[in-house]
């Protein structure tokens, strides 16, 4: 390993995407390591206590109604199964356009998230709705493929019609300290995305520590990610409130330092309206209300939408209906 | 106006039955007091909650005689395991009636319902559970093979944690075999009187717990009564000194838990976001009405600006207002007297040249309120760095080296608590070792647990409450 203070450490050209304030931190492995390890630590007990405390906010009546509609508009309605077919994706797209067929006032979701080969089906089914087509790429979910394969995966998804790409970082490289390799890969994927928005999945369930989550968040933001995303949904634990807290702190601090706003997407494990509202409270009080918008915050979820719809119906009619009152896909 | 406005979420007060008149609790019964009754008010609305009897010297004498009789005839001779059963029963009743206690505490004190619900009441129950377990194990307390109770304990408690301070006093006293005469604070007597109902409900023998309400004169009568064997006081250093004088030369045992001016020390390698949470919890928890509040922030100069910016942003999200609202973070100041004292010290701070900062937002029109306030550019010579404000007012000082941090932290007449924020374990241990404070928190603040002793150095008092050490205050070595 090259020591931070090694005067002979090789330099490298400044990455094109990096914000000016931090242009030189990726000049060498050592410099990048020093920068990431120099970020303030996260005290695990304190972070978890803060997340739990925010979870006790009581969101009622008008606030709840606003929160439910906002949460629906932030959903990346997702199907990532080996058994996915064009028919299932079209069915999902139909639900994305009209989540509650009985209620025209119900907002649309933000995006439909599928595997890259089905991005074209999703795009066609969503044409004219303003709903985005997101595709997972880069050898999702493990990310274990050569860079060429990953980049080809991205280009293919974009060519098929995806305007949002959800990539996974190389956790193996990250955990073994090859931060610059991970960074370079995100930069390359961003370039391959063209105009498509890039969401960078950190797979926090494999990073394990909040310190690592904070470092990976900064790495992804410096490399030009438009969103940082917790999980693939294929690893447990997926999104947790404390992890989301640390990521929201990261995007808040990154904007304060660079002026660039980056979005956050927790994915996997958020199934109830209560969970979704806890996230909205956390955005409001940690990152700030600027992030309370589908442009800057998404829920990666499949079953969450159904619970949001049931709670929305309950709030309007005063009684609970049942699972037959929301559409299956 | 934020895009996400939290709608009001008030806790219902219907669970509480307020009475127009509250009596003293002596010898297992509610009785009238000889003095002119006091009115207790809700500090958030100035609504009068009820009239409360005031105990005279004669009432206190009656209570002490009841306690003596219960000590010699019932509680003292009782099998220790049976005393434990009563304490377990009280603990369970506190849990069963937790919401009632929480709402009443918030009404009478002004603290946010989330705090009375999540901190005060559960901790009070925990103190009874913990000490219930000790009742039949006192021979393992490290005080000889058969430690004996002291007798009748006279206890005077403050208004900042009315029920919790009652629990800190009553639970160890009873577990050790003593009986008590307790004087709650004049502005917050209601949960102590509800606790008296719990004692009845638990069939606690009459006279084991006596509660005599009133103001300073009643407290003095309890402390000075000749047949009291033990005096325990939590409150101001000024009153503590008076009590120490009056107890001097008597056979009475004395423990005092007095004021504080705790240093919360933030090093440049601290986990900043959690440190900011700890600073907020340290000084704005319970409106800063906390004797161990982290009222002096000592922040390393190299991170001062970053920490203060972060702190101000965080304070901007604190919700000040209706204490019964489940989203309120900072409630009402307990009394107009306390509010005047806070305002006076804030005025002195400004006059001395420190720079005051407060978040945006309006305070309710009725009631006693003070905005969270941060003073920067404070030096150790400023009054606001030396005097206990006992309100939501933080004084920020800086330091350059660990030695300077320790010197400034210890430069106070108090010594109740301190906090250290650093990711470096060896530094935490080294600094904690040099701090003259009874409790030192590392990377956290204002955490309480019945197993952990609490108490002060210097003018913060003497004796410890909680844990095995705390039992010493209520036992004689055999």
Q: Is residue B14 a part of any domain in this protein?
A: no
Same domain, B277 and B391: yes
Q: Is A289 helix (H, G, I), strand (E, B) or coil?
A: helix
When pLDDT is averaged across residues A91-118 and rounded to a whole number, the result is 97
When pLDDT is averaged across residues A45-73 and rounded to a whole number, the result is 97
Which residues of B lie closer than 8 Å to A, measured between beta carbons? 2-9, 114, 118, 269-274, 277-278, 317, 326-327, 423, 443-444
* CB–CB contact B273 A66 (8 Å): no
When pLDDT is averaged across residues B117-133 and rounded to a whole number, the result is 98
Catalytic amino acids of B? 257
8 Å CB contact between A98 and A109: no
Same domain, B270 and B366: yes
Q: Show Cβ contacts of residue A123 under 8 Å, excluding neighbours closer than 6 positions.
A: A133, A160, A161, A162, A163
Per-residue burial over B291-329, b = 16 or more CB atoms within 10 Å of its CB, e = otherwise: bbbbbbbbbbeebbebbbebbbebbeebebbbbbbbbbb
Same domain, B96 and B143: yes
* CB–CB contact A59 B274 (8 Å): no
So what's the pLDDT on residue A329?
84
Is A229 annotated in the active site? yes
Euclidean distance between CA atoms A192 and A159, whole angstroms? 11
Q: Is residue B69 a part of any domain in this protein?
A: yes
A224 to each of A167, A319, B149, how far by Cα in Å?
Answer: 12, 46, 70
Same domain, B88 and B222: yes
Is A265 annotated in the active site? yes
Same domain, B409 and B469: no
The residues that bridge with B281 in the sheet, in sequence order, are none
Is residue B44's pLDDT more than 90?
yes
* CB–CB contact B9 A289 (8 Å): no
Give the residue among B372, B10, B368, B33 at the shortest CA–CA distance from B187: B368
pLDDT digits (tens, 9 = 90+) for A276-319: 999 999 999 999 999 999 999 999 999 999 999 999 999 999 99
Same domain, B295 and B226: no
The residues that bridge with B307 in the sheet, in sequence order, are none
Is residue A12's pLDDT more than 90?
no
When pLDDT is averaged across residues B72-85 and rounded to a whole number, the result is 98
* CB–CB contact B7 A292 (8 Å): no
Domains, chain A, with CATH or none: 29-318 (3.20.20.70)
Range of the domain at B348: 263-442
Mean pLDDT over all residues of chain A? 94
* CB–CB contact B114 A50 (8 Å): no
Nearest to B4 among A49, A60, A280 (CB): A280
Same domain, B58 and B173: yes
Test mutation, A38, A39, A43, chain B, max B CBs within 10 A? A43
Tokens of B71: 């000590």
Is residue A2's pLDDT more than 50?
no
Q: B1: nearest CA in chain A?
A: A289
Q: What CATH number has the domain bearing residue B292?
A: 3.40.309.10
Q: Is residue B401 a part of any domain in this protein?
A: yes
Q: Is A131 helix (H, G, I), strand (E, B) or coil?
A: coil
When pLDDT is averaged across residues B406-411 and rounded to a whole number, the result is 98
8 Å CB contact between B353 and B379: no
So what's the pLDDT on residue B2?
76
Euclidean distance between CA atoms B8 and B327, whole angstroms? 8
When pLDDT is averaged across residues A265-271 and rounded to a whole number, the result is 96
Q: Is residue B448 a part of any domain in this protein?
A: no
Q: Is residue B13 a part of any domain in this protein?
A: no
Mean pLDDT over all residues of chain B? 97
For residue B182, count CB atoms less than 10 angstroms from its CB and return exposed for 0-12, middle for 13-18, buried for 19 or more: buried
Band of pLDDT at residue B7, cut at 50, 70 and 90: very high
CA angle A10, A11, A16 (to 5 degrees): 150
So what's the pLDDT on residue B279?
98
Same domain, B66 and B186: yes
When pLDDT is averaged across residues B115-139 and rounded to a whole number, the result is 98
Q: What CATH number has the domain bearing residue B208?
A: 3.40.605.10
So what's the pLDDT on residue A1?
36
Alpha-helical regions (H) of B110-215: 113-115, 121-134, 162-175, 190-201
Quote the number of domains for chain B: 2
Given A229, A275, A278, A306, which residue is catalytic?
A229
Nearest to A289 among B3, B118, B270 (CB): B3
Sheet holding B35-42, edge to edge: B21-22, B47-54, B35-42
Tokens of B282: 């340290």
Same domain, B191 and B295: no
* CB–CB contact A46 B114 (8 Å): no
Give the residue among B477, B476, B386 at the shortest CA–CA distance from B150: B476
How far is the alpha carbon of A197 from chain B, nearest alpha carbon, in Å? 25
Q: Which chain B positions have a beta carbon within 8 Å of A218's beta carbon?
A: none
Q: Is the dihedral of CA A64, A67, A69, A71 positive or negative?
A: negative
Q: Which chain A positions have a beta carbon within 8 Å of B447's beta carbon?
A: none
Is residue B456's pLDDT more than 60?
yes
Band of pLDDT at residue A16, cut at 50, 70 and 90: low
Q: Is residue B272 a part of any domain in this protein?
A: yes
* CB–CB contact A47 B273 (8 Å): yes
8 Å CB contact between B405 and B434: no
8 Å CB contact between B253 and B463: no
Q: Is residue B16 a part of any domain in this protein?
A: no
Q: Is residue B11 a part of any domain in this protein?
A: no
How far is the alpha carbon of B368 from chain A, nearest alpha carbon, in Å? 24
Q: Show Cβ contacts of residue A231 under 8 Å, excluding neighbours closer than 6 positions.
A: A201, A202, A203, A204, A205, A238, A239, A266, A267, A268, A269, A300
Euclidean distance between CA atoms A285 and A299, whole angstroms? 18
Euclidean distance between CA atoms B428 and B267, whole angstroms? 10
Same domain, B270 and B211: no
How far is the alpha carbon of A246 from chain B, nearest alpha carbon, in Å? 9
- The answer to ipTM > 0.90 is yes
Q: Distance between alpha carbon B237 and the CA centroid of its chain, in Å?
A: 14
So what's the pLDDT on residue A21?
76
Same domain, B220 and B301: no
Q: Which chain A positions have a beta carbon within 8 Å of B114's beta carbon?
A: 56
So what's the pLDDT on residue A23?
86
Same domain, B189 and B277: no
Per-residue burial over A255-267, b = 16 or more CB atoms within 10 Å of its CB, e = otherwise: beebeebbbbbbb
Band of pLDDT at residue A11, cut at 50, 70 and 90: low
pLDDT digits (tens, 9 = 90+) for B229-276: 999 999 999 999 999 999 999 999 999 999 999 999 999 999 999 999
Test mutation, A50, A56, A58, chain B, max B CBs within 10 A? A58
Tokens of A177: 């300290």
So what's the pLDDT on residue A9?
53
Which residues of A lie closer than 8 Å to B, measured between beta carbons? 40-43, 45-47, 49-50, 56-64, 66-67, 70, 249, 280-281, 284-285, 289, 292
So what's the pLDDT on residue A7?
45
Euclidean distance between CA atoms B213 and B56, whole angstroms? 9
């Amino acid at each position: 390993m090259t020591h931070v203070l090694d005067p002979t450490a090789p330099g490298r050209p400044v990455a094109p995407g990096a914000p000016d304030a931090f242009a030189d931190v990726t000049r060498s492995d050592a410099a990048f390591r020093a920068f990431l390890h120099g970020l303030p630590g996260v005290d695990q007990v304190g972070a978890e206590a803060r997340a739990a405390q925010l979870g006790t906010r009581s969101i009622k009546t008008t606030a709840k109604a606003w929160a439910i509609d906002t949460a629906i508009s932030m959903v990346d309605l997702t199907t990532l199964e080996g058994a996915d077919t064009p028919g299932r994706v079209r069915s999902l797209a139909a639900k994305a356009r009209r989540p509650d067929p009985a209620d025209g006032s119900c907002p649309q979701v933000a995006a439909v998230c599928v595997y890259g080969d089905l991005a074209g089906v999703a795009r066609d089914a969503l044409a004219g709705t303003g709903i985005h087509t997101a595709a997972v790429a880069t050898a999702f979910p493990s990310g274990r493929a050569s860079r060429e394969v990953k980049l080809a995966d991205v280009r293919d998804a974009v060519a098929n019609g995806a305007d949002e790409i959800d990539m996974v970082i190389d956790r193996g490289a990250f955990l073994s300290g090859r931060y610059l390799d991970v960074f370079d890969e995100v930069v390359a994927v961003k370039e391959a995305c063209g105009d498509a928005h890039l969401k960078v999945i950190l797979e926090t369930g494999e990073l394990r520590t909040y310190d690592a989550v904070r470092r990976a968040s900064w790495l992804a933001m410096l490399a030009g990610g438009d969103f940082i995303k917790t999980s693939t949904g294929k690893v447990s634990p997926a999104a947790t409130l404390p992890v989301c807290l640390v990521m929201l702190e990261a995007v808040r601090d990154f904007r304060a330092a660079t002026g660039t706003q980056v979005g956050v997407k927790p994915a996997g494990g958020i199934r109830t309206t209560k969970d979704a509202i806890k996230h909205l409270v956390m955005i409001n009080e940690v990152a700030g209300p600027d992030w309370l918008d589908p442009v800057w915050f998404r829920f990666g979820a499949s079953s969450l939408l159904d619970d949001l719809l049931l709670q929305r119906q309950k709030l309007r009619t005063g009684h609970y209906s049942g699972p037959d009152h929301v559409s299956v896909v | 106006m934020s895009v996400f406005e939290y709608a009001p979420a008030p806790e219902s007060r219907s669970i509480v039955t307020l009475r127009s008149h509250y009596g003293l609790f002596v010898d297992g019964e509610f009785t009238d007091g000889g003095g002119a009754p006091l009115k207790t008010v809700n500090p958030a609305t100035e609504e009068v909650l009820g009239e409360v009897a005031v105990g005279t010297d004669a009432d206190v004498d009656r209570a002490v005689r009841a306690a003596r009789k219960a000590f010699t005839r019932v509680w003292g001779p009782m099998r220790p395991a049976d005393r434990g059963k009563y304490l377990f029963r009280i603990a369970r009743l506190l849990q069963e009636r937790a919401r009632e206690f929480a709402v009443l505490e918030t009404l009478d004190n002004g603290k946010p319902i989330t705090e009375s619900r999540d901190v005060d009441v559960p901790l009070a129950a925990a103190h009874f559970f913990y000490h219930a377990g000790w009742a039949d194990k006192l021979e393992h307390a490290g005080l000889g093979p058969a430690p004996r109770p002291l007798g009748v304990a006279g206890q005077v408690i403050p208004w900042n944690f009315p029920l919790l301070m009652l629990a800190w006093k009553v639970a160890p006293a009873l577990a050790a075999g003593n009986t008590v005469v307790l004087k709650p604070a004049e502005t917050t007597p209601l949960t102590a009187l509800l606790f008296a109902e719990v004692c009845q409900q638990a069939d606690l023998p009459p006279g084991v717990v006596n509660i005599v309400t009133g103001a300073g004169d009643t407290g003095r009568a309890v402390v000075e009564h000749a047949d009291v064997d033990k005096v325990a006081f939590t409150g101001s250093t000024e009153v503590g000194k008076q009590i120490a004088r009056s107890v001097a030369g008597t056979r009475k045992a004395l423990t005092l838990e007095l004021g504080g001016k705790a240093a919360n020390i933030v090093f440049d390698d601290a986990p900043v976001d959690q440190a900011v949470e700890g600073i907020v919890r340290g000084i704005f928890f319970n409106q800063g009405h906390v004797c161990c509040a982290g009222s002096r922030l000592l922040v390393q100069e190299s991170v001062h600006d970053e920490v203060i910016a972060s702190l101000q942003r965080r304070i901007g999200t604190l919700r000040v207002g209706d204490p019964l609202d489940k989203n309120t973070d900072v409630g009402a100041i307990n009394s107009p007297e306390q509010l005047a004292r806070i305002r006076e010290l804030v005025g002195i701070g400004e006059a001395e040249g420190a720079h005051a900062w407060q978040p945006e937002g309006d305070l309710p029109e009725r009631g006693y309120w003070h905005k969270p306030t941060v003073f920067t550019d404070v030096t150790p010579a400023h009054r606001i760095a030396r005097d206990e404000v006992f309100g939501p007012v933080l004084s920020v000082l800086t330091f350059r080296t660990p030695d300077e941090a320790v010197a400034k932290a210890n430069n106070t007449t108090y010594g109740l608590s301190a906090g250290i924020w650093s990711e470096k374990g060896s530094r935490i241990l080294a600094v904690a070792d040099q701090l003259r404070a009874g409790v030192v928190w590392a990377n956290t603040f204002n955490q309480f647990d019945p197993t952990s002793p609490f108490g002060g150095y210097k003018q913060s008092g003497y004796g410890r409450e909680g844990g095995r050490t705390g039992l010493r205050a209520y036992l004689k070595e055999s």
